[in-house]
Structure 1
Amino acid sequence: MRLLALLLLPSLALAQTSSIVQAPLPSRGMTLPPTGAALVDEATALSLNPAGLGFVESGQLFYLHERNLERDSLGDGVFLGARLLGLGLGASVEWMRGRHEPHYRRTSLGLSLGTPTLRLGGAWHGFSSKDSDDVDALDTFDVGVTARPVRALSLAAVVKDLNAPREGSLKVQRKYDLGLGLRPLGERYTLGVDWLFSEGAFRQGQATYTLQAEVIPGVRVGAGVSHGFVSGVPLALQVAATLDTSHLGVTYALGGGEDGTDHVLGVRLSMENYRSLRPSGGVVTMLDLNDMLSGGGSVLMTLLGASEADPFLRLSRWLDLATKDERLTGVVLKMEGLPGVDWGKAEELRQAVLRLRASGKRVMAVLLSVDDMGYFVASAADRIYSVPESFLHINGLAAHLQTFGGTMEKLGVTWDVARVGKYKTAPEQLTLTEPSDASREAVGAYLDNEVAWYERAVTESRKVPVERLRELWAEGLPTAAKAQSLGFIDGVITPSELDAKVRELVPRGHFNAAYNPRDEREERWGRRRRIAVVPVLGTIAGGSSREDPLGFSQIAGAETVVRALESAKSDSSVVAIVLRVDSGGGEVLASYLMYEAVLAAAKEKPVIASMGDVAASGGYYAAIGATEVMALPTTVTGSIGVFYFKPALKGLLEDKLGIHQETLARSPMADVFDNWQPWTPEQQTAVQKWVDASYDSFITDVARARKMDKAQVDTVARGRVWSGNDALSRGLVDKLGGLMDAVASARQHAGVPASEELDLVLMGEARGLFSGMGGEPGVRAALALLPGSSSSEPLPSAVKSLARELGVNLELMRPGMKAQVPFQLIVR
């Protein structure tokens, strides 16, 4: 509809003349196809309402040619529009030639600023002419405002010739244009009404009515009529048609009035994609999951705090928009790794593929290198193909538990531990030489659940008995031919055969590798209401959310999360909040502060917690304050419990390295957090009391949030890890579902109709190392700046080096009170 609006600019159409006194003044520029002051929002807005320049999102160029045979006049104009630093910029040059008026050139410059719903603009017009000294010295100024508060309404007011210039015998009167735009039936139909009048002559003004309509995508028509209510105001009519492709559009407008028939031809070139004619078979695109999930931000930008949105959240949004895009008819999934994805997110991707298919899209997966997780996602496609040399690492699931107690013994390092619950086994990684029975029990139960879920999903999708899957697993590294013979792929193809297979899948589809589900020019007025997604990703700690520039670690900072929740709560455009948790926990205090912030936000707006791969211990704590808690069937969750532990390094530093330390204490507990000596029995008892009290607070909050008896919570707590399926049956979560299910639930809780379009906005994403240097947090966020335990000492450099060599989670080894999942569970 934009090209119609771009060339349908002033619906004042053939009546675009300045009022003059004492001597004739040439026309104030070219005639434009039907539009109005409240409708115009392209580069040609410079001629009618400069505020409209603010709606230009990228570079635009328009060329207009006008001819009136009866009046023997010609006009040519070039209009440029762009956006820079949030400002709408415009420039134009128009050449007018006519038998009955002086030839002249009009040069214009314009600027617009404001918000998406309110734009202010100004324009300068400079005239030059060899035929008239008065015209040659003429300069005029326009100012305008456009307000688009809601989807169906646009309002505008323009003051033209604000300076009312006088040059010799020419006197230009100030004029006003009041515009109204309506879209009662959505973006396909637009109605406009304008009232243009000279200063002091309101009743002698001119009314203009405009209709713009999109017949089919890429084809638009328009019509305009203008008249007055007193004698002497001419009647003018105009009709127009526009043909659009993405970056090129052509418009022809024909109009008539007392001065004869006017012809206008317009051509648009734009960097921005316009809604265009669609191929009969739709668009087919390739989605490289490995590339989409790899991020791609530079190390330097991450250091400066300019990290981009989480790749998985970005991919989820892409898939959701693609599902709703009528242009898209087919997707080719390139399967070559799923970086940053574990079984929870794999289930979300699989469900996203199923939603694509349910919306009418055909999906083909091409396997280059996949393990069981990659095949799990690919199995949701309509068809699965492999190339002859594909690496199919599809051999069943296994979990690996590593312990470093033996290493610690060799190094002379011992660990003091205070914990609650036999399943809170995180310290056992560093204290035991082999996993405890509790660890084996919890991990075994999770693994059994994962295997059962995998078998059911894959065999139902491929319509094969489970025995065939087990036969495939028994191969270890099955060949593509073996996978095909067992029914797990549909064929082995060479890359040169891929095009033919795509044509089989979508017979009339047109492949477009650059497809983007939201690459078309925004036609909508007003601002969509929004759902805020607040991420809790990585190890929970105090301060800002951050990630190291190499991507090895990610911290969910309480300050960032609390501040994001407060912003979302106070933002009137945000109707609901989705708390996206993908964290195994961390510091108890930071987790508690997040929980309190979620509770506070949920009193104002619906908050839906969406659990990803893992939302355990402190990650579970942060989530339970939500209005509703959703997990995936394979989410690692629960692990309700706390622990405190610290190293005793005397055996390493003194006995092996010759470092001596002597402590002079004046109370029994003065060195309780010292990293040299093991705890005394009295110190062990004191710390255990502290940990017991923290655990009691934890389960009390869980019982209150989950509306469970405290004793009932204790039976499923004590550090026990559960799958999402098991957590649901035990009342720890409310529903099973992924991120987009949480978004749908947030919409429902907020009472937003299914027909209303909502935007997803990410608030509180992780930044780089220097990201925490600015901003004024509120009181609650300022509190979250505190470290998790003020009494914890920094981790000694020797222990840091040891952790890096062993591959142990550095945050796990840092002394302090922890609410953290007992292990890094890797199932492959």
Structure 2
Amino acid sequence: MYEKKGEDMAKLTKKRIAWLIIIIIVGFAVGLNMWKGKQRTGPVHIPRTPKEIFEGEVREKGYKQRFVAGDRDASDKIVIVNVQGEITNARWGFSYRRGMVDELINQLKQAEKDEYVKAIILNINSPGGPVIDADILYTKIRELGKKKIIISLLDKMAASGGYYVACAAHKIVAHPLTLTGNIGVIMDFINLQGLLEKKLGIEMGVIKSGRYKDIGSPYRSMDRNEKKMLQDLVDAAHQRFVEKVAAGRNISVVKLAPLADGRIFSGEQARQVGLVDELGTQDEAIELAKKLSGVERAKVVEYYFRPRLWDFLSGKISDYLKVKEVSSIPEPTLEYIWHPSFGR
């Protein structure tokens, strides 16, 4: 009898200890989150759900901020948004993350909602990317430019779609040796017909619903009409590129046309022809952002996202299984991109 009571007491004690540990952990998490909120300027978000309690910051409510430069104690902020690599919304490998363009737009939305953010610097190091992805990002930047000062800082490269996006800003700052320009559109194709038939003795067949259904197929050459159709698409996308640059840089389409043949400029050359406003680095871009936004003191921050267990547990199975297909044959896609090397 006494042994049974002892066992019951032991079980009860274990339960109490377990609950005590849970209460301590939850209390610590809540306190930590509220303390972190006090370290940020702006309204404090009080956690109300288990997800918010244990994460500290919910992704939908914003990214974390990392101090970069400037006056750490200032309330006004300048946000650096990094546009790095090919501008595409495609995902590579297993990922719980959204595509690059979606991620950048989310950062821009957070900056838009933050009343303490007075300016945004787009730190661009990109050869461009698919036409639609670059245009979506350009459009969001232009919309945000109605509310916040935006400066484009061109790093090592801001070519084609990278420059397209840069033109959405109020001003462009580039290093004298930045590679930029390359205003143009490209659509890649590969023709394997000769290799397959003459070298390997392989003849590819196709059953199609219409004459142009397999236009751009790597297994046969295109005729004149097909090339004309695709050239018209490229020309239309190029015209849109020229118009966007002309509007962003306040240059007439006629004056811009000779420069929009795909040529590459250095930062210095780009400034001479009006494609860039100033030469400099991040420091000059920050000073320009402060000047245009009318602030004397500002802390410069950048957003970052640190994945937590919840991101993996709450993600859809399709997010983990959605792997970008890797093919040795280029996809026939309209692109604002510069890729002079064979490997992409």
What is the TM-score of this pair, normalised by structure 1?
0.31
Answer yes or no: is 1:605 the counterpart of 2:152: no
| Kept after mapping to 1: 8 A contact 2:107/2:303 | no
Look up the equivalent residue of 1:735 and give its one-letter code.
E
Answer yes or no: is 1:820 the counterpart of 2:341: no
Answer yes or no: is 1:595 the counterpart of 2:138: yes
Deviation at 1:744, TM superposition (A): 2.1
Residue correspondence of structure 1 range 261-280 to structure 2 within 5 A:
none
Using the alignment, how far apart are the partners of 1:569 and 1:818 within structure 2? 29
Deviation at 1:557, TM superposition (A): 2.3
Aligned equivalent of 1:535, options 73, 82, 94: 82
Deviation at 1:630, TM superposition (A): 0.9
Matched residue SS, 1:816: coil
Look up the equivalent residue of 2:337 and give its one-letter code.
Q
Deviation at 1:691, TM superposition (A): 0.5
Which ranges of structure 1 fall in alignment gaps of 5 or more residues? 1-83, 90-110, 120-147, 151-313, 325-521, 550-554, 777-793, 800-812
Matched residue SS, 1:672: coil
Residue correspondence of structure 1 range 444-523 to structure 2 within 5 A:
none
User: Structure 1 pair 773/530, CA: closer, same or farther in 2 (3 Å)?
Assistant: farther
Using the alignment, how far apart are the partners of 1:559 and 1:677 within structure 2? 37
Residue correspondence of structure 1 range 157-196 to structure 2 within 5 A:
none
Using the alignment, how far apart are the partners of 2:93 and 2:120 within structure 1? 23
Using the alignment, how far apart are the partners of 1:583 and 1:716 within structure 2? 20
Residue correspondence of structure 1 range 561-710 to structure 2 within 5 A:
561-710=104-253
Q: Which has the higher helix share?
A: 2
Using the alignment, how far apart are the partners of 2:131 and 2:262 within structure 1? 14
Alignment partner, residue 294 of structure 2: 751
User: Structure 1 pair 615/547, CA: closer, same or farther in 2 (3 Å)?
Assistant: farther
Q: Which has the higher strand share?
A: 1
Deviation at 1:821, TM superposition (A): 1.9
RMSD: 3.8
Matched residue SS, 1:731: coil
| Kept after mapping to 1: 8 A contact 2:129/2:337 | yes
Look up the equivalent residue of 2:250 and give its one-letter code.
K
Alignment partner, residue 760 of structure 1: 301
| Kept after mapping to 1: 8 A contact 2:187/2:333 | yes
Using the alignment, how far apart are the partners of 2:184 and 2:151 within structure 1? 23
User: Structure 1 pair 772/640, CA: closer, same or farther in 2 (3 Å)?
Assistant: farther
Task: Kindly indicate whether structure 1 or structure 2 has the higher relative contact order, using CA contacts under 8 Å at least 6 residues apart.
Answer: 2
Alignment partner, residue 3 of structure 1: none
Q: Determine which structure has more spread, i.e. the larger CA radius of gyration.
A: 1
Identity %: 27
Deviation at 1:680, TM superposition (A): 1.2
Using the alignment, how far apart are the partners of 2:313 and 2:212 within structure 1? 36
| Kept after mapping to 1: 8 A contact 2:181/2:262 | yes
Matched residue SS, 1:572: coil
Alignment partner, residue 736 of structure 1: 279
Deviation at 1:662, TM superposition (A): 0.8
Deviation at 1:667, TM superposition (A): 2.1
Using the alignment, how far apart are the partners of 2:27 and 2:118 within structure 1? 26
Deviation at 1:730, TM superposition (A): 0.5
Tell me the alpha carbon deviations over residues 648-704 of structure 1, each in whole angstroms, 9 at most, x when there is no partner. 223334444454421123322111132211211110000001101110111011111
Tell me the alpha carbon deviations over residues 114-150 of structure 1, each in whole angstroms, 9 at most, x when there is no partner. 254559xxxxxxxxxxxxxxxxxxxxxxxxxxxx979
Residue correspondence of structure 1 range 775-814 to structure 2 within 5 A:
796-797=327-328, 799=329, 813-814=330-331
Matched residue SS, 2:137: helix
Answer yes or no: is 1:114 the counterpart of 2:14: no
Look up the equivalent residue of 1:114 and give its one-letter code.
M
Deviation at 1:567, TM superposition (A): 2.1
Look up the equivalent residue of 1:529 and give its one-letter code.
D
| Kept after mapping to 2: 8 A contact 1:609/1:623 | yes
User: Structure 1 pair 710/677, CA: closer, same or farther in 2 (3 Å)?
Assistant: same
Using the alignment, how far apart are the partners of 1:773 and 1:620 within structure 2? 38
Using the alignment, how far apart are the partners of 2:313 and 2:260 within structure 1? 39
| Kept after mapping to 1: 8 A contact 2:290/2:298 | no
Alignment partner, residue 13 of structure 2: none
User: Structure 1 pair 677/149, CA: closer, same or farther in 2 (3 Å)?
Assistant: closer
Using the alignment, how far apart are the partners of 2:93 and 2:279 within structure 1? 29
The count of aligned residue pairs is: 284
Using the alignment, how far apart are the partners of 1:86 and 1:570 within structure 2? 29
Matched residue SS, 1:664: coil
Using the alignment, how far apart are the partners of 1:597 and 1:558 within structure 2? 10
What is the TM-score of this pair, normalised by structure 2?
0.71
Look up the equivalent residue of 1:760 and give its one-letter code.
V
